[in-house]
Amino acid sequence: RSVGMGRYKGRFDFIICHNQEVGISPQLCYHGPQRLIVMDWHDAKFCDRTGMKWWVRPPAHTLIYFKRAWIVRDKGVFARQPKCPERVHPIDYALFDEWLMPTVPWAERRYSVLCSIRNSTRPGSPYGGGRHRVVTWLREARHRWSGALIQPLTNMGAGGCFDRDYFSLLQFARIIVTCQPAFWETDWRTWESLSTGAMVMLDQVETRMEPRLVPGVHFVRYDSSNRTDLLSKVEYYLQHPREAEAIATAGWHFVVHHHRAVHRMDRVLAAALRARREQNASSTLA
């Protein structure tokens, strides 16, 4: 966070305001539109709402703005893409290097299917919608599969906290089924799962981080509103372990080489440099 810089702030090429909810404090983020990069990780304050305060709205007050929860969902399915101001871009979480432990050989993975997402029937809960449907369907079907673990687990809360016990369970899974929250896209569980070398099954995600993960190559996509689609794909890859292992291996290599935290920051800074060049060019023409 850019707090306490005072007179030193002018010495930096860029100042990154990396915050959960930048709208709560203008003093926290405002350091001049030529240098300020905002990274807003809030779950549900979408970029077309008044929650994006004037003091961080680009391009007048911020050089470039990155917003997580880029897509609005309704009960676990795509609803709409908000219309965001100029120079607002999507961002997603990434792999932390601390998560990367030696991968467990496929034959030694004791869990055939693992689903650790929490579910809820409470109105307004992010664990409802697709997550509730998916957990319910997997619990109903788990008696068919030897070694299935369908149990809510949490990585000591949120924010990328590192819990070796949690990851050791994930690392012993062959197939991990995860699902996006009910009302927005992008969560930690996607990247936690992909970091383990398991074959990851993920519902439809519209937020795209370059280079894109390809369904059927790096992960398996399913429809979280369709019980048959989910269960038939689980069954297929249980019966075709070589195909599952190939997707798992390709997915792991792809995210390790393209979607770690350092890769996110490379792209953030590259986009900021482009925005500054465009801003300088506009000023020159004016």
* Residue 54 vs residues 25, 44, 61: alpha-carbon distances, Å: 11, 18, 7
Range among 47-56, 77-86, 89-98, 227-236 rated most confident: 227-236
Cα distance between residue 184 and residue 106, in whole Å: 33
User: If pLDDT is split at 50, 70 and 90, which confidence band does 3 have?
Assistant: very low
Q: In what order do the strands lie in the sheet with 36-40?
A: 15-19, 36-40, 64-67, 88-90
Burial of residue 271 (CB within 10 Å: 0-12, 13-18, 19+) is: middle
Structure tokens at 169: 């369970």
Give the residue-averaged pLDDT of 243-254.
98
User: If pLDDT is split at 50, 70 and 90, which confidence band does 191 have?
Assistant: very high
- Bridge-based pairing of strands 64-67 and 36-40 is parallel
What's the confidence (pLDDT) of residue 125?
Answer: 85
Give the residue-averaged pLDDT of 247-270.
97
Task: List own/partner pairs for 256-264 with CB under 8 A and 24 or more apart.
Answer: 256/95, 256/100, 256/195, 258/211, 259/94, 259/95, 259/191, 259/194, 259/209, 259/213, 260/94, 260/95, 260/96, 260/97, 261/94, 261/95, 261/96, 261/97, 262/97, 263/94, 264/91, 264/92, 264/94, 264/209
**Which structural domains are found in the chain, ordered by start?**
6-93 (no CATH), 97-258 (3.40.50.2000)
Better pLDDT: 42 or 149: 149
- Bridge-based pairing of strands 199-203 and 173-177 is parallel
pLDDT digits (tens, 9 = 90+) for 99-133: 888 899 999 999 999 999 988 888 778 888 899 99
What's the confidence (pLDDT) of residue 95?
Answer: 94
At 48 the three-state DSSP class reads coil
Cα distance between residue 214 and residue 151, in whole Å: 28
